[in-house]
Structure 1
């Protein structure tokens, strides 16, 4: 089987005992006609996650390959080391709290087999809560088709990480050079889209579990995300100066102001608003946010009102 593995499903997990079994079974039960392996990188969990993985690996020994860390290595290293161990022609990323629907791998492999200019394939996902209830019908709806680097920069990212399947053509050197302790998914997406287009499937082929991952830390936007965003845009603009991309940069930073306001973080809502305007003017929304910065409380109240209106529309 090792000689003809089509897909390596790489699952990263840490202390997700309530989710890991359903996650793994959603992969085991994939409806496809090719061989795939499941690599599960457990980052030294202490809540029983590791033991549950071992139980399932004993039940499905030809499919599940546990990678059990002896010490906590962190999310980034856990992911990168899994990718380096993958034997498949393609790699499917899956967080340990998310789910696949049964035709996901079959549909994405078919796209990658038939479209050689595409480097990775993504899809829409339903958004669920900790109990598995759907709280949002769509993670982010986009028309089906091919997208490029500017499309990615216009909305970092426009897909959930757990929807991504990419070509396994990069060796250890690529991953070693990319790795740093605060590496996040958007940096990997950015480096890989340089190798080929993204094909996005407008179908919900999985479930994304909201408010569980690293996006929010201590009820604030995790600072490693805007840090990565700055790195991506400054690197791009250094090589290819562009007014359009500069506006996208300002828009991306303003999005962190919005997220901070939703979380009630008045200070960072103000700081990201000011930073966005300094990068460059792109819309009247920026001016509204900047004006309200004189009263951070008023800014966060305004953002929460807008957020509630958006949620009601959905």
Structure 2
């Protein structure tokens, strides 16, 4: 089997048929299978995917969980059941727009054996109309990225765009399931073994809605930053020393981000906690953290130095 399409779904009755149809429309010169991890939905999702499987029994394999196991474990189980040389990922509430998406990504990976992941651009669609539709990847997105890029820039790869080499997925450690940042940590682990290739073409839609699996974390800045810090701390312990300097600086910046958010909210005790940790835990001091500590602990001195426009950085 050349490609497995891994679909992760839970309570997606409104979206799942469109997602599946976007896979079924693919035009390829190879065979592909569709492996669906259905995580004990409470709506009609299971009946919908079962109907597709009955209609196309040779194309679909269903993993019907008897109880809800959560998005990460469901993904791990679904990936583990894939048999293709490559694994394309599609959440049940997203969909593809190009009938040649799979073919183009397979051709790319076949022609670039140094790449372990291939991805492309997608549109971000907000179902509630709260934001204008926009592209996920910036105009300057590089054709080839590295693990350093994933650490520096964060989650640059939209889930519905990625295609993995399956061999590495077989070795993803189980502790990944405990993290709350989706498949970004999986991408980091892959990038330790090769490059990440990018096709500069919009071939999918990432749908954002209130019942989405990661919506709560994205909307709650505290949870988002906590999950983000957790990932970096895990990789700080795991990765070799040449990456630790990058991670230390990023962890310092993330703690300062959180401290400033708490400061703006008037939660000064929490602000001080994160401000102090940003320096003492990672042994990093920056102009930004120095000014933050002055504001929190000796505000009178901060105001005086700012009025005199002394360094650092003119006290803007």
TM-score when normalising by structure 1: 0.77
CA RMSD after TM alignment: 3.2
How far apart in 1 are the matches of 2:53 and 2:266? 46
Equivalent residue number for residue 138 of structure 1: 135
Alignment check: 8 A CA contact 1:156 1:252 kept: no
Match status 1:108 vs 2:111:
no
The answer to whether the Cα contact below 8 Å between 2:179 and 2:230 also exists between their aligned partners in 1 is no
Residue 179 of structure 1, CA deviation? 4.5
Name the residue aligned to 2:252: 250
- The equivalent residue for 1:191 is 189
1:226/1:243 Cα in 2 relative to 1: closer, same or farther (>3 Å)?
closer
Q: Are the counterparts in 1 of residues 148 and 243 from structure 2 also a CA contact under 8 Å?
A: no
- The C-alpha deviation readout for 1:255-293, integer Å capped at 9, x for no partner, is 6679x78xx987599466665455434574x66776777
Which has more radius of gyration?
A: 2
- Aligned match of 1:56: 52
Q: Given the alignment of the two structures, is residue 83 of structure 1 paired with residue 79 of structure 2, yes or no?
A: yes
Cα pair distance change 1:273/1:36, threshold 3 Å: farther
- 1:1-314 pair list within 5 angstroms: 5-102=1-98, 103-130=100-127, 135-141=132-138, 142-170=140-168, 172=170, 174-175=171-172, 177-182=174-179, 184-211=182-209, 212-214=212-214, 216-217=216-217, 219-221=219-221, 222=223, 223-236=226-239, 239-240=241-242, 242-252=244-254, 270=271, 275-276=277-278, 279=282, 280-281=284-285, 284=288
Q: CA offset at residue 235 of structure 1?
A: 2.8
- Matched-pair contact (CA < 8 Å) for 1:17–1:48: yes
TM-score by length of 2: 0.77
Q: Distance in 2 between matches of 1:248 and 1:210?
A: 27
Alpha-carbon displacement from aligned partner over 1:88-141 (angstroms, at most 9, x marks no partner): 110111111111122221111111000111011112211012369983321131
Name structure 1 gaps, 5 residues minimum.
295-314
CA 1:281–1:213: 2 relative to 1, 3 Å: farther
Structure 1 residues 250 and 105, CA, compared in 2 at 3 Å: closer, same or farther? farther
